[in-house]
């Protein structure tokens, strides 16, 4: 959520920046500024009315002490009228504040200057590519056929138990999944990220805090009786640790990593591009989250990009990095880099990580601030990235490492799997 003082002072500049998203933000900005002015006017009127009411109460007491009961009784009528008026003003102020807050929730983050203009993923910029595209044997299979051949993943059984998008991992498939989670966590903790285990359900305040609500309400699974939501990513519970918190500047940066299952009610579609592990409603992911001094947040973003590069290179998976255009940029993000791994069997790129700087957008929603000494608290910056999302990593490993009728295991994973080949 953008701070009101930023909107008041920079409305035209912000509207121009939102054009990169393909969004005409002028109507919502105008509504926000009008509601803000209405709220401020009501607050001024309320303060004046309360001051008059307090003054009248004090004067009534003095009149009674002076034996001027008739004048005191007359003034009580005025005092009663002021109390009714103040109550009406308070209700109007509360309604205006709620309307203002709801409107602020609808305005996305301002794209960074580096964000290219564009309408959709076709306008994203490829800024880096690494690794050789593997040449596979003529009879190479996509991962869903490999999973069936070697009894690694049962997609049909998942449909029976729950529905499409909820696979069952079996045998060496389950072991490889667990190995990836452990390896990613170890890689992250060695880089200075503290490991956390967090809840897999969050309350409504947490959803609003990191920006999933109301923007992605339709994509989240809700436990309606308890008004809780299954998390779409560990970013939500981890970042909400800092909701309503004032940190000491000396404690920054803060770096956390967490493994969680993730749940997303994404709209279904058909075709090879969403077959198998390409799109799931439940999947595993290891996340990295940072809280930073604003002066350092873009250096931190570069560091996170370098970190994910190293993780993918250790798996020897060919990848590329995209800088997302305005039309493909997430609601809360100021700048995002997507990592895609090349799937040789499918002959296409698969997204495996997004690394984003939210600047103060989430922090303002969360009321996450930091302070140096006795200085006034300032909004922190938050960042997060996938390190990594498992489904498409697993798909890439199965497809790219198939050879001689089996599937090799990357060297770095062998200590975690206990086997070096699936056959």
The pTM (predicted TM-score) of the whole model is 0.92
Averaged pLDDT score across all residues of the chain? 94
Confidence of residue 72 (pLDDT cuts 50, 70, 90): confident
Owner of token pair 């009714």 = 84
d(Cα 200, Cα 260) in Å, to the nearest integer?
7
Tell me what pLDDT residue 223 has.
Answer: 95
Given a cut of 60, is residue 141 above it in pLDDT?
A: yes
Given a cut of 80, is residue 359 above it in pLDDT?
A: yes
d(Cα 182, Cα 189) in Å, to the nearest integer?
11
Tell me what pLDDT residue 178 has.
Answer: 98
Cβ-contact 128, 321 below 8 angstroms: yes
Per-residue model confidence as pLDDT tens digits over 30-67 = 999 999 999 999 999 999 999 998 888 888 888 777 87
Identify the sign of the CA torsion 317, 323, 324, 325: negative
Cβ-contact 252, 370 below 8 angstroms: yes
**How many Cβ atoms from other residues are within 10 Å of residue 195's Cβ?**
13
Given a cut of 90, is residue 153 above it in pLDDT?
A: yes
Per-residue model confidence as pLDDT tens digits over 259-317 = 999 999 865 544 556 789 999 999 999 999 999 999 999 999 999 999 999 999 999 99
**How many Cβ atoms from other residues are within 10 Å of residue 80's Cβ?**
12
Structural domains of the chain, with CATH: 4-105 (1.10.287.40), 121-422 (3.30.930.10)
Tell me what pLDDT residue 252 has.
Answer: 98
Rounded to the nearest angstrom, the gap between the alpha carbon of residue 294 and the centroid of all alpha carbons in its chain is 18
| Portion of the chain with pLDDT greater than 70, in percent | 98
Given a cut of 80, is residue 219 above it in pLDDT?
A: yes
| Portion of the chain with pLDDT greater than 90, in percent | 86
d(Cα 272, Cα 350) in Å, to the nearest integer?
12
d(Cα 92, Cα 203) in Å, to the nearest integer?
28
Given a cut of 70, is residue 388 above it in pLDDT?
A: yes
Cβ-contact 308, 388 below 8 angstroms: yes
d(Cα 124, Cα 134) in Å, to the nearest integer?
24
């Amino acid at each position: 959520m953008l701070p009101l003082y930023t909107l008041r002072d920079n409305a035209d500049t912000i509207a121009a920046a939102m054009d990169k998203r393909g969004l005409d933000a002028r109507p919502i900005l105008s509504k926000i500024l009008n509601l803000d002015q209405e709220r401020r006017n009501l607050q001024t009127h309320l303060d004046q009315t309360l001051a008059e009411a307090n003054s009248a109460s004090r004067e009534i007491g003095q009149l009674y002490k002076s034996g001027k009961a008739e004048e005191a009784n007359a003034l009580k009528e005025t005092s009663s009228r002021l109390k009714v008026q103040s109550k009406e003003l308070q209700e109007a102020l509360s309604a205006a504040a709620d309307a203002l807050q709801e409107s602020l929730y609808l305005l996305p983050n301002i794209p960074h200057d580096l964000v290219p203009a564009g309408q959709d993923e076709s306008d994203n910029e490829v800024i880096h590519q690494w690794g050789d595209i593997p040449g596979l044997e003529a009879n190479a299979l996509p991962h869903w056929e490999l999973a069936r051949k070697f009894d690694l993943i049962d997609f049909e059984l998942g449909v029976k138990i729950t529905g499409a998008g909820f696979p069952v991992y079996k045998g060496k498939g389950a072991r490889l999944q667990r190995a990836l989670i452990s390896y990613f966590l170890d890689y992250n903790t060695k880089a200075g990220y503290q490991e956390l285990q967090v809840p897999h359900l969050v309350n409504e305040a947490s959803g609003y805090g990191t920006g999933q609500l109301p923007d992605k309400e339709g994509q989240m699974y809700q436990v309606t009786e308890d008004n809780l939501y299954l998390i779409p990513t560990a970013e939500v519970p981890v970042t909400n640790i800092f909701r309503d918190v004032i940190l000491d500047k000396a404690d920054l940066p803060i770096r956390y990593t967490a493994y969680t299952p993730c749940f997303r009610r994404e709209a279904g579609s058909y075709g090879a591009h969403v077959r198998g592990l390409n799109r799931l409603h439940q999947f595993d992911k290891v996340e990295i989250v940072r809280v930073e001094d604003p002066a350092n947040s873009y250096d931190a973003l570069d560091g996170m990009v370098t970190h994910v590069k190293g993780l993918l290179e250790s798996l020897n998976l060919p990848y590329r990095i995209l800088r997302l255009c305005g039309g493909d940029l997430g609601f809360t993000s100021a700048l995002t880099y997507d990592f895609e791994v090349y799937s040789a069997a499918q002959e296409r790129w698969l997204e495996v990580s997004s690394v984003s700087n939210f600047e103060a957008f989430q922090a303002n929603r969360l009321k996450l601030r930091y302070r140096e000494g006795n200085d006034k608290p300032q909004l922190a910056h938050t960042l997060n990235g996938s390190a990594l999302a498992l489904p498409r990593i697993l798909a890439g490993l199965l497809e790219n490492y198939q050879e001689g009728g089996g599937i090799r295991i990357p060297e770095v994973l062998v200590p975690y799997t206990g086997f070096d080949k699936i056959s």
